[in-house]
Amino acid sequence: MTSVPTGLAHLSKSLKPKHSKVDPMAANALTYDASACEFLIGNQRGELLERLHQARQETLADVELLRSGGDVPADKQPLDSGFIDLPQRLLNGEDGLLQRMETSARHLRESIDRMVVLGIGGSYMGLRALFEALCDPYHNERPRSKRNDCPRLYYEGNNLDNDSISALVDLLQTQCTDPADLAQRWGIVVISKSGGTLETAVAFRVFREALENYYGQNSAASRELVIPITGEQGKLRDFSQSKGYGTTFPIPDGVGGRFSVFTAVGLYPAAVLGIDIRALLQGAADITEQFRTAPVGENPVLDYVATCHLLERDHGMDLRVLSTWGKGLEAAGLWYDQLLAESLGKQEQGATPLTVVNTRDLHSRGQQHQEGKRDRVITNVIVETPSRESVELPAVDDSLDKDQLNRIAGKAFPELLQAAIDGTNKAYADDGRPTADLTLPRLDAYAVGQLLQMFMLATVVEGRLIGINPYGQPGVEAYKKNMGDILYGG
């Protein structure tokens, strides 16, 4: 990795992130526009520059530190900076892993019609974000031919909810009665970095037993149709070895759970679902390069951090609303909720994330955003061009125009949505409430790769800026210990 220029002279002449793009040449580059926050930020952005620059330097230096294999100082532990250069490494063919995942994913896709993915937290939210953003919203309801010959997807192991797990076992048992019929074959992808997370481990036992009953206790299928994705060591790895599962994929040391979406954790099941994982990685690699080299004002990662940080520091706006304008982005928002909360919610610091989906939530949370406490910054996530053909509002005979919608007949839904976005932003601006826009030209794998990697980088940079180690989640251990004491008797 080449070094980043250190002097302020290398940074942008204009510090205002009017429209920072990943790569102006890339057809599908995301942009970040915080001009509607400038009235509160003023020249504070310039004063933050040096520290922002240092936070970027530290973030990138941590990649080198991790890769060098040298001693990690105590105040840097844990250090999970491995996610930063991983997309490019995978694209470069490191360990042949990408190809191995694609080959195995194709095989699994052709072998089953239902994929049960077990995992929680970082071993669950990333895949869900990819699936909801990039697959048909009615994927599971479509016949196989209309879902690109990919299996249906179910999640479990993300709760201890009796009725939820029971319902899925029941669904599989009632709908799958002939293992010789592809339409009735199912398999398990079990994901746990530590290999010891209770929710995932207990679900794995339950579904494994169902699977072995279905295909036969010692059948080849009962070994081939279970794909463990786990860390280099741990109970799940040990179990997989003793069981003789043919295919397992690693979650590398140095990549933390909520930063693992571009490891096999997200990539492998995404590939089974027919998602273009190379485009995902390319988007992630491109924004990483932009983060590494572009000046403030043209750097979506640094510009986003600067805006959010200054509004929090100087105006007490410690609620981060991710305002997604499209149902396909809701799970990406929930993934970000986890990322920000678990990374920076430490030492009584860290903004509180909140995802909304508009226009749905204008009818629930909108009132508070408009007139409630001035404690929030709203970041809109906007997709410019829909993935499917536009739906136009039909005209009706005048005698039936009781809803008076003929005035806008012929307009398409994207136009209606744009009016809602513009109207909402204006209403907030008129009341002095800050908003910023993150715009994706389309909701495709390249754009989603950029978006998720941008948020991961921004979270780490902000952590370094405020003196919080963004990696690790020591606070989660307390409940686990108590639960263990209760279940295992101390």
Interacting residues with ligand PA5 (CB under 6 A): 120-123, 192-194, 197, 200, 256-258, 342, 473
Q: Mutual orientation of helices 445-466 and 44-68 as an angle, nearest 10°? A: 100
- Could you give the 3-state DSSP secondary structure of residue 207? helix
- Is 326:443 a contact under the CB 8 Å cutoff? yes
| Structural tokens at position 468 | 């919080």
Distance of closest approach, residue 116 Cβ to ligand PA5, in angstroms:
16
Q: Which of 274, 220, 212 is nearest to 247 (CA)?
A: 220
Minimum CB separation from ligand PA5 for residue 194, in Å? 3
- Distance between CA atoms of 84 and 56, rounded to whole angstroms? 12
Three-state secondary structure of 9-77: HHCCCCCCCCCEECCCCCCCCCEEECHHHHHHHCCHHHHHHHHHHHHHHHHHHHHHHHHHCCCCCHHHC
Considering the complex, state which of residue 263 and residue 379 has its C-beta at the smaller distance from ligand PA5. 263
Catalytic-role residue among 10, 327, 426, 480: 480
- Residue 45 to residue 339: CA distance in whole angstroms: 25
152 or 235: CB nearest ligand PA5:
235
Give the dihedral of Cα atoms 436, 441, 442, 445; nearest 10 deg.
-90
| Residue of 13, 348, 363, 402 with catalytic role | 363
Catalytic residue among 156, 330, 342, 462: 342
User: What residue is closest to ligand PA5 based on CB?
Assistant: 257
342 counts as catalytic: yes
φ, ψ of residue 338 in degrees (nearest 5): -65, -45
CA-to-CA distance for 55 and 38, rounded, in angstroms?
A: 22
Instruction: Please tell me the distance from the alpha carbon of residue 338 to that of residue 124, in angstroms, as a whole number.
Output: 11
DSSP helix/strand/coil, 437? strand
126 versus 297: smaller Cβ distance to ligand PA5: 126
Q: How far is the CB of 199 from ligand PA5 (least distance, A)?
A: 8
The CB-of-355 to ligand PA5 minimum distance in angstroms stands at: 16
Q: How far is the CB of 87 from ligand PA5 (least distance, A)?
A: 18
Between 187 and 256, name the residue whose CB sits nearer to ligand PA5. Answer: 256
Least distance (Å) from ligand PA5 to the CB of residue 483? Answer: 13
What is the DSSP secondary-structure string of 353-401? Answer: EEEEETTGGGGTTHHHHHHS-S-EEEEEEEEEE-SSPPPBPPP--GGGG
Q: Cβ of residue 350: shortest distance to ligand PA5, in angstroms?
A: 14
Q: Are 273 and 131 in contact (CB under 8 A)?
A: yes
Our CB check for ligand PA5 shows the closer of 81 and 424 to be 81
Q: Can you point out the beta strands (E) in 148-221?
A: 152-156, 186-192
Determine whether 19 is an active site residue: no
Tokens of 28: 């599908």
- Least spacing, CB of residue 234 vs ligand PA5, in Å: 8
Q: Judge whether 233 and 255 are in contact, CB under 8 Å.
A: no
Taking the least distance from each CB to ligand PA5, the nearer of 200 and 380 is 200
For ligand PA5, the closer of residues 235 and 365 by Cβ is: 235
Roughly how many angstroms between the first and final C-alpha of the chain, as a whole number?
48
Q: Which is nearer to ligand PA5, 26 or 454 (CB)?
A: 454
CA 402 vs CA 115, 405, 407, 409, 413: distances in Å: 47, 8, 11, 13, 20
Is 10 noted as a catalytic residue in this protein? no
Catalytic residue annotation: 342, 363, 480
